[in-house]
Structure 1
Amino acid sequence: MSPFTGRAIGLAFAALWLFLGAVALPLPWRYLAGALGLAAILLLGVRAWRMNERRTGLFDMRRYRLSVALEFGAIALAGFLLDRVGLGGYLIPVVGIIVGLHFVGLWWAGGGPQYLRLAGIMTAIDAGALLLPPGSRAMQAAAGLGSAAALAMIAGTGARR
């Protein structure tokens, strides 16, 4: 996977989290947050495209695939278990924590220290969102917008050190 492909994937997921968080905001803030966030993500995408990084060949695709497979499995299991015990209101930040933790696997695959930073930042943001009322718009906004910002910051800036 090329460095730009990885950044594009990160920015695409940042846009997804942005949408998830922005829709929880009251009008007109949802449109303002969505528009400004999308503009920032697009600008970061252009910046990432122009970075002209070269692939090092150190990224282990087997480890990457394992990390993503474990992430999907953990999300499915968490969704099932939370629903089963009546705690479905916690789903969004729990998914954010799982997504954050999967970046440890990307670091393990050889992706670099920025993945550990992203894992820590995203996990902390979503753990903090768990302190808000379950299933509330505040919880959804905090988890969505916070996760979007963390993903965009790392994916779009090329933060390596």
Structure 2
Amino acid sequence: MTTPQTGRRPSGLLVGSLVAISFGTVFVLVNSGGLAAPWPWVIRVVGLLVAAFLVVALLRVARREPAATGGPATGFMDRRYWIVVAVEAVALFGGLNVINRVLHRPEISVAWVALVVGVHFFGLGWVWRMPRYHWLGAVMTALGLAGFVIHALGGGAATVALVAGVGSGLALYLTVALALRDVSRDRTPVAG
């Protein structure tokens, strides 16, 4: 996904991808622990390998494709971004407080996190005009809702964490992989 005006990689690709890889890794590592052995270690090792592969691929793209410049200051400097993040933080921590301290249901905390983070991607997709974030938001929101449904149907905390947590980590990894694929696909060879 290069910018149409310049054929360069989007200016936020590096930072956004590093954030997605980091949070994806946290989702995978934290939420795979409740499974029967050897699955926590298998999932964690695979998650770390995928994260490492994505970081290497991202650094290669960053080195090969210069970032687009010259546009208005956006991204993390945009006031709308901070509004989305503020609403996300209030919903996230307010909801977790209710889930853990009022309802005493910590086993669904990860489902709430996936749901709120998923919804926040709809806002970011709108702010940054990135349709892929709408898809990521839809997937993570669905995974969060699936976690609630699994719990309501009697599923255990490990299953909720696997679906809502590990699933969200995989969705973040896949989003980065698709963005990197798009940049590589849109690359036009330089005549030499």
Counterpart check, 1:96 vs 2:106: no
CA distance in 2, matches of 1:31, 1:39: 12
1:43, 1:111 → 2: CA distance?
27
Q: Could you tell me which residue of structure 2 aligns to residue 146 of structure 1?
A: 167
Work out whether 1:78 is the aligned partner of 2:88. no
Report the counterpart of residue 176 of structure 2 in structure 1. 155
Letter in 1 for 2:107: G
Where do 5+ consecutive residues of structure 2 fail to align? 1-10, 183-192
CA distance in 2, matches of 1:92, 1:53: 37
Classify 1:88/1:36 alpha carbon distance in 2 versus 1 (closer, same or farther; 3 Å).
Answer: closer
Q: TM-score, normalised by structure 1?
A: 0.88
Say if 1:36 and 1:104 are closer, same or farther in 2 by CA, change over 3 A: same
2:138 is aligned to 120
RMSD of aligned Cα (Å)? 2.0
In the TM superposition, what is the alpha-carbon distance from 1:97 to its structure 2 partner? Answer: 0.3
- Within a 5 Å distance, the mapping from 1:31-42 to structure 2 comes to 31-42=41-52
Which protein is bigger by CA-based radius of gyration?
Answer: 2
Q: 1:69 aligns with which of 67, 73, 86?
A: 86
Q: CA deviation at 1:129?
A: 1.5
Per-residue Cα deviation, 1:9-64 (whole angstroms, up to 9, x for no partner): 01000000001222122211111110011101111122222223624646452222
* Pair 1:54-2:72 in alignment: no
Structure 1 contact 3–53 (Cα < 8 Å) conserved: no
For 2:81 and 2:57, locate their aligned partners in 1 and report how far apart those are by CA, in whole Å: 24
Structure 1: unaligned runs, 5 residues or longer: none
Q: One-letter code of the match for 2:165?
A: G
Asked if the contact 1:96–1:123 (Cα under 8 Å) also holds between the matched residues in 2, the reply is yes
Query: TM (normalized to structure 2)?
Result: 0.75
Q: More displaced, 102-111 or 28-37?
A: 102-111
Identity within the alignment, %: 25
